Structure formats: structure tokens, C-alpha cells
Structure 1
Amino acid sequence: MSCTVPDGELRALEARVATALATADDTALDILGHGEVTLVLRLRTAEGAFACKRLPVFPDRERFERYRGVLDEYLRRLGSAGLRVAPTRLWHMELPSGRVVGYCVQPALPERRLCSRLLHTEGEAWAKDFFDRFLDRIEAVVTPSLGLDAQAANWVDLDGELVHLDITTPLMRDHRARERLDVRLFFTSLPWVLRDAVRLTMTRSIFDKFYTPRGVVLDFLGNLHKERLDALIPGFLEQANARLGKPLDAAEVAAYYASDARMWELIQRLRRADRFWHRRVRRRPYPFLLPPAVDR
């Protein structure tokens, strides 16, 4: 898998994004997928197709380079732990204002091999084998200082090997259990009057789960409700509990997902309200591409 994409193609993509933000019309963008926070854009070139995720705009080159350093370290640590990650290029361009636009660019891997899709299309034997391989990876990678967002949509199964996709939020903590990520920057899409309050009150609830195998498994199983795959939860619980020191049960998984869904729904409502205020009250472009409403 190669991640060679011409600079001019990425600049043209950013120009289309800038137009979409200015006109509030994203129909010219080829949307490959989306998560809770951002869109993933497909870029088709003569060299192949690429998945491009636009990062929050960095206020200056120093903040961008700090992010680059954290991302590079995260990729190295994941690789050292035996996790295969899709080839990733961090591309950037500096704006006349001195701010920096960045994209994480990966080859567009076959959508039919996304594990969230395969869990719908493959049988029980495949699902059981996938979850065993998933648990192996979680046990090898996750520590109190190295986390992973491991829901099913973040994996592709290529030739029997799990490849991880979502690395744009590097999950690492220092010796005082503080996020190495520039969390303040990644909350800039919230209304400014709420950013600090949300960051101070919700950061732990958003990130803690990613730093223990049990928390990662709980998040994975909870998100099966969103994927309409909850029929798989009883069998996966049996597999997981054979390895976890503290067992999980279906009630805890359902309660976790309900709480998580409420939190993200609140965040999305706040972002949509902020977009309305920017466009209708301030009469200026809203600076973020928002994902569509998630059917929970």
C-alpha cells in the first residue's frame, strides 16, 4: 500500500473544501465516511484513490509541528506493539495568515473489507475469529500510556490481517496521565464560550476508556448498538470475559452506549448551533465540515 499523492491534488482538494465552507455546500466533495467529529474525503488521482481527513486548522507552524511529533511517535509505538496501521502521510499547507491546514492521508482501502461491514455480511465463524484477533491486538497495544480507538469501523481485514485506520487523534499520556494530544485544539469546533467547560468536564469521560483493554472492549461492544450489530454482543462477551480480569455484561454495555450516545449527541447539537450562529447571525463561513446526524 502506497501513500504517494501529488501535492497539487491535495491543494485542489483543500480549495474545494474552502469553497464548501464558504458556500455551505459540500456537494462537490466526495465523502468516503464520517465519525463523530469529522468527515473522511475521498480523493481520486491517477496514482489511485486516497482517504483524506482534514484536521482542525492549526494557529501557527509550531502547533502543527508539535502535532506532527506526537503523531509520528504514536505511529512508531503502535508499530512496535505489533499493530499494522494503514500507511499514513501528514500533509500540510500554510495559509497567508500563518495558520496551517493539515490532512492525514491514507490509501483508500477496499470498503467491502471494513470490519463493520464484514460483521454484517460474514457468518458466525468469521465474526468469532475476527474478535479473537481483535482481542489479541488490544492486549498487545493498550497500556495506561498508549490508547486505541478500536471500534469496528476503524479496522480493515486484508488477507487475514487486521489493519487499523483511525490514528488522527494520537492517544498517548505522559507520566502524570495527561493527554499528549493538544486537546484544546481538538475542541475548537465547539462554540468558544463552551470549549473550556467541555474540555475540563468531559475530557476524562471521552478519553479514559481508550487506555485499558477493558475500556476499549466496552467501547467496541457499545458501538455495536450503533452499527445495528447488537446480536453479536452475547458471543463477544463470552470471548472477552475469558480474557478480562473484570468481566463485562450486556447491561453494562447497553448503559455505556446510552451514556456515550447522549454525550456525543449533546456535542453535535452544540456544534450545529454554533454553525447556525456563524452563518445566520455573524454572516460568516463556519470553519468546520460537520458529519451528518448519526442514527443512534
Structure 2
Amino acid sequence: MEALPDGELECVEGAVVHALDTNDHRGLTILGYGEVSVAIGWPTGAPRWALKRLPPFPDRAARRRHIELIRRYIDHLTAAGVGVVDTEIATLERDDGALLAYLVQPALDPATLAPAVLAAADPAHGHPLVDAVVDAVLACTDGRCGIDAQMTNWVWSDGRVSNLDVNTPFLYDAEGRPELDVGVFLAALPAPVRRAQRRATAGIVARWRRPRWALLDCAMNLYKDGLDAWVPLVIAAANPHLDEPLDPDEVARRYESEAKLWVTMHRLERLERWWRRRIRRQRYEFLLSPDTHYARRRHVRPTSHPGGSA
């Protein structure tokens, strides 16, 4: 991957700060809004890199720990045979003292992203991408490592999949507790919610170390991406490897539950942004999407056959 030139990260952060202060994202090339991060194409208009900005860290030690965790996570995935998109980590200290880190990846051909690959394919004929994602999940979810396997996190190139979502590293200790400090990301929420949510979020993060949950999450998020017809194919690819098979009704119910959660979280983030800007007169350090993808589709019908509903 071509290195980001010296001084370029400061330009990126300047553009991000302008967007944060004005709530005007038109100066940024947004490649995708995730639920916890935003992929920014740089340079604007003709991106060669995709950058994901991590929230400001409370101190250098916290930033160093998170960066080391990401690197260990990449090493763990790679050792398990899971491809990872080339990723560098760049750090920056703003003039106001904010301690930042960016994940830097090559800007990818949108047609190679897994949702686009499946959207262009015929579910009746299947696609090797589905089995490749299932195999990757089974290879790396070993109790000490997990993965967010939804299709938006994969790229298909030269007949193999690679994961591009490593900013939230799913590594766990011997008791199954996440090594990730979720507090960095919970800073987007109002303080009272943040305190209550810390324990719950640690439990939620722990789910991704279990292959069944990772595959269930992969299947249900196809509804979010408008890829309903592929839900039964993911279920069919996953079930031979699971002691407790996935069921179309369960997948649909789980999706609706997750949609409700993320819609609520997005509303709370918008509330915290208003509070910080209008009342505290502070910068809100998170780029928020105009709405969450889940808000566009909260209710679904179980899909049990490719190309149609049950």
C-alpha cells in the first residue's frame, strides 16, 4: 500500500474538524458510515486511501494499548488464515492536545465489497463468497478471538475474502472478557447512559467470539443491506458447522432487536452531540451519519428460500 505522505494526516483531521464543527460533511468523501466509525476517502474526490478515525484517547497509554491490540488482532486473524486488508495506523496530536489515531487502508474498488458482489450475483446460483466468509468465521472464532462478520466488512478479490474491519479488535482473555476498552467508543453517548452501558456493552462484545453468534449476525445484517435473498444461503452454509442450527425466524427476530437497539443508540448520540455543542460549547468528536442504516428498515419477514420470503 502506498504510504500516506507526511503532513497529509493533519489535512485529513482539519477536514474532519470542520465537518464536526459545522455538521457539514460535504468536504469529505464518505465511503461508508458504520455504527461505530466512518470510512473517509482521501484525497477528497479521488480517494487513494480509506481512513477510519478512532475517537480521541484520554492519554497516550490508552492510545498505545489500543494500537497494540489492533496489531495483535490482525496477527491473530492472519495466523488463523483470515485475510486482512492492508492496514497501517497513523497517530496525531492536535494543537488542542487531542490524541488521535487513524487506520489507513487502500481505497478499494466498490464493486469488490461483499454487499456489491452479492447484489450483482444471482442467489439461485449462489456465490463462493458465502462459503469463504463462513470458513473465515469458523477459522478465527476460537474463544480468544472473535469477528464482526457482516458482509459490509469483507472484500472479495482474486477469489478470496479479506476483512477490513479491525478498528474494534475482538480479542479476549482466558475468562472470555474483552481486552477492548469499550469506554473509548461509549464516549459518544450521554454520560448517564455511558456508565450504565459499559457493562452491557462488554457482554455484547463478548458474543463475537462464538461462531454461532458471528454467523447469526452475518445472516441478519443482510436484511440491513437489502440482501434478503442471501439469508437462506448463509444459514445453509453455516448450519452444518453448528451444534444449534440457525433458523430463519430467529434471524429475522434478532435483526429487528438489533435494529431497535442501534436506532436508540443513534438517537442518544445525536442527543449527546446537541448537549455538547449547545450547552457545554464543546466539540463532539464523532462523525454521525444522518440516520442509521437500521432506521431505514426496522421490520422484516423471515426469508427461507433464495429470492423470496417464507
Alignment TM-score, normalising by the size of structure 2: 0.90
Q: Is the 8 A contact 1:147 1:212 kept in 2?
A: yes
Q: Is the 8 A contact 1:22 1:285 kept in 2?
A: yes
- SS at 2:126's partner residue? helix
Cα shift at 1:263 = 1.0
Question: 1:107 corresponds to which letter in structure 2?
Answer: P
Question: 1:115 corresponds to which letter in structure 2?
Answer: A
Deviations 1:121-179 (A, max 9, x none): 11237634221111111111111110001100111111101011000000001112211
Equivalent position of 2:81 in the other structure: 82
Query: Where do 1:237-256 residues align within 5 Å?
Result: 237-256=235-254
Inter-CA distance 199–251: structure 2 relative to 1 (3 Å threshold): same
Inter-CA distance 21–54: structure 2 relative to 1 (3 Å threshold): same
Equivalent position of 1:122 in the other structure: 121
Question: 1:39 corresponds to which letter in structure 2?
Answer: V
Alignment pair present for 1:180 and 2:152: no
Equivalent position of 2:306 in the other structure: none
Equivalent position of 1:258 in the other structure: 256
Cα shift at 1:18 = 1.3
Question: 1:27 corresponds to which letter in structure 2?
Answer: R
Equivalent position of 1:290 in the other structure: 288
Which has the bigger relative contact order, CA under 8 A and spacing at least 6? 1
Give the number of aligned pairs: 293
- SS at 1:176's partner residue? coil
Question: 2:286 corresponds to which letter in structure 1?
Answer: F
Q: Over aligned residues, Cα RMSD in angstroms? A: 1.8
- Structure 2: runs of 5+ lacking an equivalent: 298-310
Cα shift at 1:199 = 1.3
How many Å separate the matches in 2 of 1:67 and 1:202?
A: 17
Q: Is the 8 A contact 1:49 1:107 kept in 2?
A: yes
Q: Which segment drifts farther, 141-150 or 124-133?
A: 124-133
Cα shift at 1:243 = 2.0
How many Å separate the matches in 2 of 1:22 and 1:125?
A: 48
How many Å separate the matches in 2 of 1:289 and 1:154?
A: 19
Equivalent position of 2:218 in the other structure: 220
How many Å separate the matches in 1 of 2:113 and 2:242?
A: 26
Question: 1:232 corresponds to which letter in structure 2?
Answer: W
Question: 1:169 corresponds to which letter in structure 2?
Answer: T
Question: 1:252 corresponds to which letter in structure 2?
Answer: E
Equivalent position of 1:16 in the other structure: 15
How many Å separate the matches in 1 of 2:126 and 2:159?
A: 12
Query: Where do 1:124-273 residues align within 5 Å?
Result: 124=123, 127-204=126-203, 206-273=204-271
Deviations 1:178-198 (A, max 9, x none): 111111112111112211101
Inter-CA distance 278–98: structure 2 relative to 1 (3 Å threshold): closer
How many Å separate the matches in 2 of 1:131 and 1:221?
A: 10
Question: 2:288 corresponds to which letter in structure 1?
Answer: L
Question: 2:192 corresponds to which letter in structure 1?
Answer: V
- SS at 1:242's partner residue? helix
Cα shift at 1:97 = 4.6
Question: 1:9 corresponds to which letter in structure 2?
Answer: E
Inter-CA distance 292–143: structure 2 relative to 1 (3 Å threshold): farther
- Structure 1: runs of 5+ lacking an equivalent: none
Deviations 1:227-282 (A, max 9, x none): 11112222332222122121111011011111111111111110011112222333
- SS at 1:90's partner residue? strand
How many Å separate the matches in 2 of 1:151 and 1:9?
A: 31
Deviations 1:63-104 (A, max 9, x none): 111111111111111111111101111111123454311111
Q: Is the 8 A contact 1:155 1:162 kept in 2?
A: yes
Q: Is the 8 A contact 1:60 1:98 kept in 2?
A: no
How many Å separate the matches in 1 of 2:28 and 2:100?
A: 17
Question: 2:205 corresponds to which letter in structure 1?
Answer: F
Q: Is the 8 A contact 1:40 1:52 kept in 2?
A: yes
How many Å separate the matches in 2 of 1:226 and 1:108?
A: 23
Equivalent position of 1:58 in the other structure: 57
How many Å separate the matches in 1 of 2:98 and 2:256?
A: 38
Q: Which segment drifts farther, 237-246 or 258-267?
A: 237-246
Deviations 1:203-227 (A, max 9, x none): 31x3133111111110000101111
Dislocated runs of 4+, deviation >6 Å: none
Alignment TM-score, normalising by the size of structure 1: 0.94
